[in-house]
Structure 1
């Protein structure tokens, strides 16, 4: 029987312990969520068989082109995410590992309630911003926004642009989109301020997958937006509703627009 020194036995035992710890680390669930590009929806059209924007109390117009809101999806709050999942996401452009607390607040049911509340607030602010821009009274004009299965505040900007395009277009008989597929993200306030939302790189992926060639992003998120934009997607920073409308008008006239 070969002789094994005490030093060799100790090294073998330590190595076994290290391997065991690495295995535990690799397969132990982490407080992390994996996010990836989600669905997009043309706010000028229908989603899930329902018209996204319905307006009564004022004339509306036919539109061309598309104004697409974008989303990200994420693993469920109770779904286990392991080190290997995080490592895989690190090397992909269509996945991102994010702290679970940054995506979900509480249980899945609580997260759904928060997202639904934020979506309603976003829709109310979008309606106020759009009607305020057009000089219309919310007492006479009713806007109904329907987008099943989507929560959060990040569609505010695109809802606002969609309402304006449905009623007034660019103010000169044309479309805000200029016939293009334009996507975007950003919160909106009743006075038209555009705010940051997060997840912009993944939303760019979703936008390009669904045919967008232009992407409007909050200016505060330009650093993330320009990190690795998909080929063929022009990324334009905006700070407000008026700024977004000005950018689209310049784009449609063939002028030079800002870029992240």
Structure 2
């Protein structure tokens, strides 16, 4: 016959209808010796065990089903005023470049390969790990095909470099016909380095405007896209980027203002979050930090 145990339909073989059992003796013995109870208990125990095994098997199989999510974790950082993989990140021609102290670090996140799906087990593990995050795959890789995904992120980086150059030169009132800037960040892709690249160009060409550096000799990190008009835009993976920044010595993190709430999730100790909306605002914030002025925090 069929019985339902915990919502599952399980085969309860060999269980008779207790209403059709022969009457018990007038002087029954202890319950442990009841033949009816013994006959009912063993099959039910087997049925429950079978249901448990089936449920565990279904759960295990479900845990292996690939999901449209990507695992991410804190990536590398690069000082845009220095070198990356043995080559200068910024090279300026057509205008004298300053020697700088301190660091302006752009920050990345690392992720599983495009097209690689995350299982439920891996996703559940990442939810409980501060050092990992689960993001929709399309948010990390607009293209699921690995070759196309690499091409898209490379194009985003190129556009970011161009916008950073235009924004920085416009801020400094310099002509792009006279000053040329080349950027080399190796195989790093995506648009989120824009703000820090623009700040690096400003620092190399003009500093704080009084002969000093924007960084004030400190390690400053940040993230954010940038438009040609200097607008700083939102990016993904900010909580992981703050961890990467703190790991590599940053004490200040410039974050797009609209992502302050995300940035405050598990903020590393000793890392100050400074909200920015424009390149000019970011420059002003760094100058104020250096001089001890008032600077907003997330």
Report the TM-score, using the length of structure 2 for normalisation: 0.84
The residue aligned with 2:266 is: 228
The residue aligned with 1:116 is: 154
CA distance in 2, matches of 1:107, 1:116: 14
Does residue 162 of the first structure (1) align with residue 200 of the second (2)? yes
Kept in 1, the 8 Å contact 2:115–2:144? The answer is no
RMSD, aligned α-carbons: 1.6
Structure of greater Rg? 2
Which residue among 175, 192, 198 is the counterpart of 1:137?
175
1:51-78, CA deviations, whole angstroms, 9 ceiling, x for partnerless residues? 0000000111100000000000101123
State the shift of 1:4 in Å.
6.1
Report the TM-score, using the length of structure 1 for normalisation: 0.95
CA distance in 2, matches of 1:3, 1:223: 59
1:16-55, CA deviations, whole angstroms, 9 ceiling, x for partnerless residues? 2211111112222222211000000000000011100000
201-210 vs 17-26, which moves further? 17-26
CA distance in 1, matches of 2:190, 2:139: 13
Unpaired stretches in structure 2, ≥5 consecutive residues: 1-37
Does residue 46 of the first structure (1) align with residue 83 of the second (2)? yes
State the shift of 1:2 in Å.
7.0
| Greater RCO structure (CA 8 Å; 6+ sep) | 1
The residue aligned with 1:60 is: 97
Which residue among 266, 275, 278 is the counterpart of 1:240?
278
CA distance in 2, matches of 1:102, 1:207: 22
Unpaired stretches in structure 1, ≥5 consecutive residues: none
CA distance in 2, matches of 1:246, 1:93: 32
Helix, strand or coil for the counterpart of 2:72?
strand
How many equivalent residue pairs? 260
